[in-house]
């Protein structure tokens, strides 16, 4: 390295705060610091600013109705349609501009202008109607990153049918559980897709899932692989291409939906083994993702914006589909992996399309760092104006690498904390205003109330770790868990609320600390949820898959630190009498987890042990198992019933 560069590197590593570049501030959608006070002083009416980004049919009469808290209602009596907001209203001015730039893994591309996307969404909406889909029927989608996925989502939105997208990497069992829970009688899926150049079958997996659903399901199958793969169709299946062709030129009037009507369901993991069906609404959710795309991602219609997430997760819903399209911009959608065919694939796409904003996850940034700066250096990344991260804490070193080697030290970075349940971003700097501090997400967004408290709900001082809480409602919040109000109350509102005083505090189940200047550093989950490569997995779900394997008596799953993935799955397993903890059982355990959930939940290590460390009351000491997985100094073992077992397990992991 040249001397100058060494100096620059050293300066960067020491620097603790970064101001947004002047050139960015000058053009930012939001650059007046007064916005924080404006929201505060005029709350909740200040949220009209978000609703004003949409084109409502009927105006709402109340911004926030908290009469039945925590079942809040936003923008009551307002009516709108999400497909109209994302398509129709852009047609006059931007019909010929690009809505979706799709890049397939093998290098093929597809471009949809707003007019073209509008046309196909209408045709598919007409086809869904013809198949019998009615307003409020839940339509499940089990699809990889192909354009037909957002098309199907918008077609559902058009006819008022909520969608439930199941990540394509989830297993057949996971699909069955979600379809059963949502009483969903329609499934849009595809024959297969490409991963690292190979065709992967998908339809047989979908069929296997449907075998586990008790009610009848009408299927719609997109032919992604063409002749390469002869996919097994069921009697109740229809070919997507045929359906759309039969509706050529059809127009479907968007259904007028109430602000509080459900737009979609998204299943996510929680403390128990049963996934939670998070319900998002049309008015509040759409206003919120539109507002945060505008204020935080600085999206403008003329941008080419790229969120490199998967639409199967909330990030893709909010910031590939609904946020950017509601603002009429160009949203890039990439089917494949970042290292295929070469490790510069992401940078090639940025260069080819002149991408202006890139929003990705720390796990990806850590991988880019490991591969080396020579890959981004090969490409012209000067079109980039803003960078973002989401999904897990980002360590300062990775933040600085991203800042320097991708952003060329001229792009602000927004480190955005939020969750499936929050619908959109909650804690982050505003890129046109806030100083950035690597590793710390920043202050809560204007209008968002966040506090760090101890177990009694009292605020903790600066620098001390506590629990993150949200003490004001916000438009993008989940409204309930599908058909399970009780669980909604107990999961999120029991811990810190005081119902007698009508005081409601949302608990996201994250630990955090706050600095003197109000910047929040999110430390990670405090429940039994682990975050593997930004994917949220419930340890209970994995444990129940493992104990379902023949020969397993008991299992405890924890998250251990992992350089690239953030966290990895560690499974401690006790075998049944007569079974050996050998390679065969390990392979069956891994298979069991992949079948029940999917390859993302595959254990990094399976550790066979005769006992698990338990307290005198019989509770498994997970903290200790985490310490062992991380090779950390072991905490206090004196409260254990069986302290001797700890060393045995630690030795095994060390082997
Ligand atoms: O622990 C937090 C972590 O991801 C969890 C939410 O996961 P999920 O619902 O799958 O949504 C992920 C995408 C929004 C949170 O409870 N998390 C998310 N963003 C951050 C984060 N942790 C630290 N910093 C972030 N920026």
Ligand 1 centroid to residue 488 C-alpha, Å: 19
> Cα–Cα distance between 383 and 400 in angstroms, integer?
19
- CA dist 368 → 178, 274, 308, 333, 373 (Å): 34, 35, 13, 19, 8
* Ligand 1 binding pocket includes 524 (Cβ within 6 Å): yes
Read off the pLDDT of residues 500-527 as tens digits, 9 standing for 90 and up: 999 999 999 999 999 999 999 999 999 8
Residue 268 CA, ligand 1 centroid: distance in Å: 12
Give the lowest-confidence range in 1-5, 253-257, 445-449, 578-582.
1-5
The pLDDT, as a whole number, for residue 1 is 58
508 lines ligand 1 (CB under 6 A): yes
Residue 268 φ/ψ, nearest 5 degrees = -140, 165
What is the C-alpha to C-alpha distance for residues 619 and 612, in angstroms, rounded to an integer? 10
- Residue 621: which pLDDT band, with cuts at 50, 70 and 90? confident
Distance from the alpha carbon of residue 524 to the mean position of ligand 1, in angstroms: 8
Half-sphere exposure of 161 (CA within 13 A, CB side): 29
Q: Are 520 and 514 in contact (CB under 8 A)?
A: yes
CA–centroid distance, 194 to ligand 1, in Å, is 28
What is 244-301 written as a DSSP string? HHHTTT---PPP-EETTSEEEEEEE--SSSSPEEEEEESHHHHHHHHHHHHHTS---T
Given this model, what pLDDT does residue 203 score? 96
Q: Which of 514-518, 531-535, 567-571 has the lowest mean pLDDT?
A: 531-535
Question: Tell me, what's the pLDDT at 307?
Answer: 98
Specify the pLDDT at position 323: 98
What confidence score (pLDDT) does residue 646 get? 84
Distant-in-sequence contacts of 274-277, Cβ < 8 A, 24+ apart:
274/177, 274/181, 275/174, 275/177, 275/178, 275/181, 275/538, 275/541, 276/481, 276/484, 276/487, 276/491, 277/164, 277/178, 277/181, 277/182, 277/481, 277/482, 277/483, 277/484
In this structure, which residue's CA is closest to atom 22 in ligand 1? 392
Q: Are 293 and 285 in contact (CB under 8 A)?
A: no
Whether ligand 1 lies within 6 angstroms of the CB of 415 is answered as: yes
pLDDT of 267: 97
Question: Which residue CA neighbors atom 6 of ligand 1 most closely?
Answer: 419
pTM: 0.95
Query: d(Cα 55, Cα 85) in Å, to the nearest integer?
Result: 6
Six token digits for residue 241: 């291409």
Tell me the pLDDT of the chain averaged across its residues. 95
Q: Is the CB of 531 under 6 A from ligand 1?
A: yes
3-state secondary structure of 482: coil
> Which mutation among 468, 536, 538 tests ligand 1's pocket best, with the greatest number of atoms within 8 A of CB?
536
Task: Give the rounded percent of residues in the chain with a pLDDT score beyond 70.
Answer: 99
Please state, in angstroms and rounded to a whole number, the distance separating the CA atoms of residues 360 and 547.
35
Residues with Cβ within 8 Å of residue 223, at least 6 apart in sequence: 190, 191, 231, 239, 240, 241
Tell me the percentage of the chain whose pLDDT exceeds 90.
87
* pLDDT tens per residue across span 275-285: 899 999 999 99
Tens digit of each residue's pLDDT (9 = 90 or more) over 47-77: 999 999 999 999 999 999 999 999 999 999 9
Q: Is 511's C-beta closer than 6 angstroms to any atom of ligand 1?
A: no
Res 9 pLDDT > 80: no
Please report the DSSP string for 582-603 in residue order. Answer: SHHHHHHHHHHHHHHT-GGG--
CA-CA-CA-CA torsion for 98, 103, 107, 111, nearest 10 degrees? -20
392 Cα–ligand 1 center, Å: 5
Smallest CA separation from ligand 1 atom 10, residue? 536
Q: Using one digit for the tens of pLDDT, what is the confidence trace for 122-132?
A: 999 999 999 99
Domains of the chain: 465-522 (no CATH), 528-654 (3.30.300.30)
2: confidence class by pLDDT, cuts 50, 70, 90: low
Cβ 441 under 6 angstroms from ligand 1: yes
Return the ligand 1 atom nearest residue 523 CA.
Answer: 23
Pocket test for ligand 1, best of 275, 418, 424 (most atoms within 8 A of CB): 418
DSSP class of 322 = I
State the average pLDDT over residues 243-260. 98
By most ligand atoms within 8 Å of CB, the mutation choice from 285, 416, 417, 421 for ligand 1 is: 417
Copy the structure tokens of residue 621. Answer: 């000491």
- For ligand 1, whether the C-beta of 536 sits within 6 Å is yes
Are 356 and 385 within 8 A, CB to CB?
A: yes
Helix (H) or strand (E) holding 307: strand 304-307
Residue nearest to atom 26 of ligand 1 (CA): 417
Q: With CA atoms as reference, report the closest residue to 553 among 612, 598, 601, 604.
A: 612
Q: How far is the CA of 625 from the centre of ligand 1 (A)?
A: 23
Angle of CA points 161, 165, 166, to nearest 5°: 145
Cβ–Cβ under 8 Å, residues 508 and 276: no
The rounded Å distance from CA 531 to ligand 1 centre is: 8
- Is residue 237 within 8 Å of 203, Cβ to Cβ? no
SS3 content of the chain, % helix, strand, coil (to 5): 35, 25, 40
Place of tokens 């989950």: 525
Q: Would you state the pLDDT for residue 645?
A: 84
Interval 429-446 mean pLDDT: 97
User: To which residue do tokens 């229809």 refer?
Assistant: 238
Q: Is 420 in the pocket of ligand 1 (CB under 6 A)?
A: yes
Residue bearing the CA closest to ligand 1, atom 12: 391
Atom of ligand 1 nearest to the CA of 535: 10
Distance 417 CA to ligand 1 centre (A): 6
Region of poorest pLDDT, from 108-112, 309-313, 640-644: 640-644
Backbone angles phi, psi at 639, to 5 degrees: -85, 0
pLDDT given at position 642: 85
Look-up: residue for tokens 């868990």?
481
Atom from ligand 1 closest to the CA of residue 425: 14
User: Degrees (nearest 5) of the Cα angle 416, 597, 263?
Assistant: 50
Q: Of 13, 37, 163, which Cα lies nearest the Cα of 447?
A: 37
| Element containing residue 91 per DSSP (H, E) | helix 91-94
Strand-pairing partners, residue 571, are 557, 606
419 C-beta closer than 6 A to ligand 1: yes
Determine the residue of 492, 531, 533 to mutate for testing ligand 1's pocket, defined as the one with the most ligand atoms within 8 A of the Cβ atom: 531
- State whether the beta carbon of 522 lies less than 6 angstroms from ligand 1: yes
Our answer on whether the CB atom of 497 is closer than 6 Å to any ligand 1 atom is no
């Amino acid at each position: 390295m040249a001397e100058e560069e060494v100096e620059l590197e050293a300066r960067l590593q020491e620097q603790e705060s970064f101001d947004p570049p002047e050139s960015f501030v000058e053009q930012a959608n939001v650059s007046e610091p007064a916005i924080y006070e404006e929201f505060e002083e005029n709350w909740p009416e200040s949220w009209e600013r978000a609703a004003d980004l949409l084109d409502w049919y009927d105006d709402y009469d109340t911004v926030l109705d908290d009469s039945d808290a925590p079942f809040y209602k936003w923008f009551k009596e307002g009516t709108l349609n999400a497909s109209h907001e994302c398509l129709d209203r852009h047609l006059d001015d931007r019909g010929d501009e690009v809505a979706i730039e799709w890049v397939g893994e093998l290098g093929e591309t597809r471009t949809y202008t707003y007019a073209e996307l509008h046309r196909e969404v209408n045709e598919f909406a007409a086809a869904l109607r013809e198949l019998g889909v009615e307003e409020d029927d839940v339509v499940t989608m089990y699809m990889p990153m192909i354009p037909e996925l957002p098309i199907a989502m918008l077609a559902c939105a058009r006819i008022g049918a909520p969608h439930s997208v199941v990540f394509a990497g989830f297993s057949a069992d996971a699909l069955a559980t979600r379809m059963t829970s949502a009483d969903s009688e329609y499934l849009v899926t595809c024959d297969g897709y490409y991963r690292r150049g190979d065709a992967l079958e998908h339809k047989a997996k979908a069929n296997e899932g449907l075998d586990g659903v008790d009610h009848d399901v009408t299927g719609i199958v997109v032919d992604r692989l063409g002749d390469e793969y002869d996919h097994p169709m069921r009697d109740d299946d229809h070919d997507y291409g045929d359906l759309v062709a039969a509706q050529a030129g059809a127009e479907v009037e968007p259904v007028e939906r109430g602000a509080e009507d459900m737009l979609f369901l998204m299943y996510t993991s929680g403390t128990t083994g049963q996934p939670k069906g998070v319900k998002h609404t049309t008015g509040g959710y759409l206003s919120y993702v539109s507002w945060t795309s505008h204020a935080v991602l600085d999206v403008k219609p003329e941008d080419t914006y790229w969120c490199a997430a998967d639409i199967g997760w909330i990030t893709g819903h909010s910031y590939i589909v609904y946020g950017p399209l509601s603002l009429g911009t160009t949203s890039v959608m990439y089917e494949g992996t970042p290292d295929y065919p070469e490790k510069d694939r992401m940078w090639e796409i940025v260069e080819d399309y002149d991408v202006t904003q890139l929003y990705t996850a720390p796990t990806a940034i850590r991988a880019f760092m490991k591969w080396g700066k020579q890959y981004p250096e090969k490409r012209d990344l000067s079109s980039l104006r803003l960078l973002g991260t989401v999904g897990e804490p980002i360590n300062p070193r990775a933040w600085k690498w991203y800042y320097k080697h991708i952003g060329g030290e001229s792009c602000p970075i927004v480190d955005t904390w939020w969750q499936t349940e929050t619908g959109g971003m909650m804690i982050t700097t505003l890129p046109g205003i806030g100083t950035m501090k690597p590793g710390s997400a920043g202050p809560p967004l204007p209008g968002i109330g966040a506090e760090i408290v101890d177990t009694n709900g009292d605020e903790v001082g600066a620098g001390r770790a506590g629990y993150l809480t949200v003490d004001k409602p916000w438009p993008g919040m989940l409204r309930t868990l599908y058909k399970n109000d009780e669980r909604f109350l107990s999961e999120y509102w029991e811990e810190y609320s005081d119902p007698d005083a009508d005081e409601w505090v949302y608990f996201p189940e994250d630990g955090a600390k706050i600095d003197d200047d109000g910047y929040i550093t999110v430390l990670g989950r405090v429940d039994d949820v682990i975050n593997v490569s930004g994917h949220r997995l419930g340890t209970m779900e994995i444990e129940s898959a493992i104990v379902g394997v023949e020969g397993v008596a008991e299992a405890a799953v924890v998250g251990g630190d992992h350089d690239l993935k953030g966290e990895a799955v560690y499974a401690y397993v006790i075998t049944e009498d007569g079974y050996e903890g050998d390679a065969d059982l390990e392979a069956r355990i891994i298979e069991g987890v992949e079948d029940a959930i999917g390859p993302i939940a595959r254990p990094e290590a399976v550790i066979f042990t005769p006992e698990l460390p338990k307290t005198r009351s019989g509770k498994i000491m997970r903290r200790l198992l985490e310490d062992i997985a991380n090779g950390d100094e072991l905490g206090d073992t004196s409260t254990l019933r069986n302290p001797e077992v700890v060393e045995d397990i630690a030795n095994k992991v060390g082997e």
